[in-house]
Amino acid sequence: MIISKIVTLNFIYFNLHAEEVINSNYIKDDKSGIYGDRLQISTIDRIAEEIDKDNFASKNIVFDFKFINACQPNLNRTVINIKNKGYKILLIDISKKLCEELAFDSIENSNNTLQGDIFTKFYLFENAHNNFTNIEIKPADIFYEEFKSTIKKYINPHSLPHSSSFVYLTSYVDMKKFMSYEKELLLFSIYKLAIKIKTKWQNEIEYGPILICQSMNSAFIVSILSTFLKLDILIFDKIGPINKLYNRLDNTISDKRKYIIVSDLVCLGTEVKIVKSLIQFIGGNCLGNVSLIKTETLKNTHIIKENATIAIFSIKRANNKELNYDIFTDLESL
């Protein structure tokens, strides 16, 4: 399974660290989470197989080396074999040292861009006038577009009131269906979320905060996040959309631990607030909350940073029309 493959009109994108994380944790059972920083031949072999199998229309490939600090010796031969099949390869975010170790530095291209010790762009071909060198590549944008076009398929019209907050929604995001049908993108999204959590709570992560989920969907997300981040989890039986608690809270929440609340989609954040209150009532420390998707109902300037949900995709003013998603009430507009 290749999770990070994104096919665009002009190129095919692969995130090598994400693939390495899948290889090490799920195929090789190495249990190093997202903390591994070396790329192995078995990972790049899987990508090479995928490229062979799919026979893409585009012959341009982007390999994203972000978070990769070392490679298995002789890995360059697999990459060169892909190149020798007629593909034009661009490496992004690859360190100069790694480039030298892989002996790619004998290929010169005037479009290669070095910032400090990192090549933001390193072309594995010498023709500086090839069209591929003119294409702007931003991994965050590539992912955003891919996620937007995919999630669109799972947004359905909805006429009933929102179940936990007193508002109406024009549409309903069928997360369950998205999670069942789009496994690869889901895993890549959870990987991205794990990276965001690690970056946001760099210091706290060391002391092992607990990931909390409060619904069936988020239980699935949390189980993968816990593998990626090597953190413990706590499953709250059910807080929203249907609210029912089976466990006694003082048995499960410890006042000595810190907690991160995980959701699949945060619309107005009612459930998040309930969970946060429950944790704080027992004396636990709530670090914050994360979600795959969130809606940004406030302007950027009005959002209080501490309360903001960390998410890998936002439904916001710039895209809610395109996604056919709106929140409204029965009140008359003034």
Could you list the residues that contact other proteins (CB under 8 A)? 24, 28-32, 36-38, 40-42, 69-70, 72-74, 76-77, 80, 83-84, 103, 106-107
The least CB distance from residue 42 to other proteins, in Å, is 4
The least CB distance from residue 90 to other proteins, in Å, is 15
The least CB distance from residue 28 to other proteins, in Å, is 4
Cβ closest to other proteins, residue 55 vs residue 74: 74
Cβ closest to other proteins, residue 106 vs residue 251: 106
The least CB distance from residue 59 to other proteins, in Å, is 16
Cβ closest to other proteins, residue 36 vs residue 284: 36
Half-sphere exposure of 166 (CA within 13 A, CB side): 2
Cβ closest to other proteins, residue 44 vs residue 222: 44
Contacts of 99 (CB under 8 A, 6+ apart): 91, 105, 119, 122
Distances (CA, A) of 74 to 57, 63, 79, 81: 29, 17, 10, 12
The least CB distance from residue 115 to other proteins, in Å, is 22
- Residue 331 CA to residue 334 CA, distance in Å, equals 9
The least CB distance from residue 24 to other proteins, in Å, is 6
- Residue 272 CA to residue 252 CA, distance in Å, equals 17
Cβ closest to other proteins, residue 80 vs residue 327: 80
Contacts of 262 (CB under 8 A, 6+ apart): 211, 212, 213, 218, 221, 222, 225, 289, 290, 291
Distances (CA, A) of 302 to 72, 159, 200, 311: 48, 29, 20, 18
Cβ closest to other proteins, residue 107 vs residue 282: 107
